[in-house]
Amino acid sequence: MLRPSTSIPRRSRGPLWRDPAVRALFFQGLLLATVLGIIAFLVHNAMANLDARGIRTGFGFLDHRAGFSISQTLIDYSSNVSTYGRTFLVGLANTLLVSALGIVAATIIGFLVGLARLSPNWLLARLAGAYVEIFRNIPLLLQILFWYFAVLRALPSPRQSITVFDSFFLNVRGLVMPAPETQPGFAATPIALGVAILAVIALVILARRRQAATGAQWPVLPLSLALLIALPLAVFWATGSPLSWSVPELSGFNFRGGMQVLPELVALWVALSIYTAAFIAEIVRSGIQSVPRGQTEAARSLSLPGGLTLRRIVIPQAMRVMVPQVTSQYLNLIKNSSLATAIGYPDLVAVFAGTTLNQTGQAIEVMTMTMLVYLSISLVVSALMNLYNARMSLKER
């Protein structure tokens, strides 16, 4: 028979190295010392190496005259007076331009291909599937080189341009197209657009309040579309259509007037869009497939019309799956635009981390600035994404 023990044995603390808290402190101290040691070692080496090569550290070089020309500048730049700091901004603007163009095109192509993959039409679904399998399994760099060297370099000379409507010309020097030229008085139109946007926001808020109070719905979408289109157009006409188009014309060996798009930009844009679209298509497909069939069936049993089912039931749930993944594809696209270096499109990496770095030798400063740009774009976008995610995620109680 068991007897209750008379005294509970005292819990001994055991040796110090068995205590998890002490051990955690010890490991973290060790890790910190290692990391700091490595950093100190690297900094020490860098200082010694820079000294030996006679390179002065600091960002003073940004005020020096750059003295090289850039083939596409969205902001004022001249090789005679502009500084290295200016080259940074020019490169950044070009990176943002090609990223924005790429994001728009990749989204459109990606959605179309993703929907086509789900089509009941066997042929169309297979074609979309082949598109995805081909383009996402080939390196992006290879695709950029292909579009640039194999397609655009093989285009005819300006005299034998491929012409569309007598105003778009595609040739070996790129795409020439009509450029808008603003006349005095044009400024009123963008202002009208701004007013229209504010009016639409007010309309949406009012309509929502009204629906909450009375249950009645306003046709918000047609109304806002009408506002957005009609108001700027009316102002545009009222001020006497102050916008003319400069149509390019062939004169001699080159075009006069119009706007010339670099072949490098075209190649990079096409490659980035087609490559990223393959990934977006897969995301769209998985997003739509992730919405259970029962959701649609339940909506139908409530006799919700098809369009409303799609808008209020299916798409919001699919978006929850799609938006975070699509955003990371956008980020990838922005980062991938740095491959511009390979074909000489003057993006941030080519202009700043390439030419400027080679001319000044300020490797540490230049690389730090370049990486910080990409890093901050990434961090800002992922912060916004997390906000969106927190708002859209399933509220479970």
Partner 1 sequence: MSSDSEEKLVASRPPPTPQGGPVYWLRTRLFSGPINTVVSIVTLLLIVRLVWPVIDWALIEADWVGSSRADCTGDGACWVFISTRWSQIIYGFYPVAERWRVDIVLGLFFALIAWLVIPRLPGKRVAALMALVGLPIIAWILLLGGVFGLAHVPTRAWGGLMLTLTIAAVGIVGSLPLGVVLALGRRSKMPLVRAICVVFIEFWRGVPLITVLFMSSVMLPLFVPAEVEFDKLLRALIGIMLFWSAYMAEVVRSGLQAIDKGQGEAGAALGLGYWLRMRLIILPQALKLVIPGIVNTFIALFKDTSLVLIIGLFDVLSIIQAGLTDSDWLGFAIEGYVFAALVFWVFCFGMSRYSQIIERRLDKGYQR
Q: How far apart are CA 18 and CA 294, in angstroms?
A: 54
At position 19, the amino acid (one-letter code) is D
Q: Is 164 helix (H, G, I), strand (E, B) or coil?
A: strand
H helix or E strand, kind and range, residue 113: helix 84-117
Residue-by-residue DSSP string for 171-202: ETTEEEE-EEEEPTTTTHHHHHHHHHHHHHHH
**Can residue 99 be called a binding residue for partner 1 (CB under 8 A)?**
no
137 binds partner 1 (CB under 8 A): yes
Residue numbers 365-384 binding partner 1 by CB under 8 A: 367, 370-371, 374-375, 378-379
Which residue type sits at 193?
L
314 near 356, Cβ under 8 Å?
no
Which one of 9-17, 49-57, 174-182, 309-317 is the stretch in contact with partner 1 (CB under 8 A)?
Answer: 49-57
Instruction: Give the residue from 350, 262, 343, 359 showing the smallest Cα distance to 68.
Output: 359
Tokens 């109680």 belong to residue: 397
By CB under 8 A, is residue 87 in contact with partner 1? no
Q: Is 295 in the site for partner 1 (CB under 8 A)?
A: no
Alpha-helix residue ranges (DSSP H) falling in 185-262: 188-214, 220-238
Angstrom CA distances, 240 to 180, 231, 279, stand at 15, 14, 46
CA distance 245 to 222: 30
Provide the minimum distance between the beta carbon of 321 and partner 1 in the complex, in angstroms, as a whole number.
Answer: 15
Site string for partner 1, 154-183 (x = CB under 8 A): x-----------------------------
Q: Which of 98, 103, 109, 140 binds partner 1 (CB under 8 A)?
A: 140
Q: Would you count residue 153 as binding partner 1 (CB under 8 A)? A: yes
Nearer to partner 1, 189 or 362 (CB): 362
201 binds partner 1 (CB under 8 A): no
Q: Does 122 bind partner 1 (CB under 8 A)?
A: yes
**How many chain residues bind partner 1 (CB under 8 A)?**
53
| DSSP annotation string for 149-164 | IIIITTSPPGGG-EEE
**Interaction between residue 353 and partner 1 (CB under 8 A):** yes
Q: Which member of 246, 327, 341, 389 binds partner 1 (CB under 8 A)?
A: 341
* Among the listed residues 19, 22, 32, 63, the single contact to partner 1 using CB under 8 A: 32
Stretch touching partner 1 by CB under 8 A, among 209-217, 300-308, 318-326, 333-341: 333-341
Contact 123, 130 (CB under 8 A): no
Binding-site member from 277, 283, 284, 339 for partner 1 (CB under 8 A): 339
Beta strands, E only, the chain: 162-164, 168-171, 174-177, 179-182, 243-246, 249-251, 254-256, 259-261
- Nearer of residues 296 and 341 to partner 1, judged by Cβ: 341
Q: Would you tell me which residues interact with partner 1 (CB under 8 A)?
A: 24, 27-28, 31-32, 35, 42, 45-46, 48-50, 52, 119-124, 127, 133-134, 137-143, 145-146, 149-150, 153-154, 335-336, 338-339, 341-342, 349, 353, 357, 363-364, 367, 370-371, 374-375, 378-379
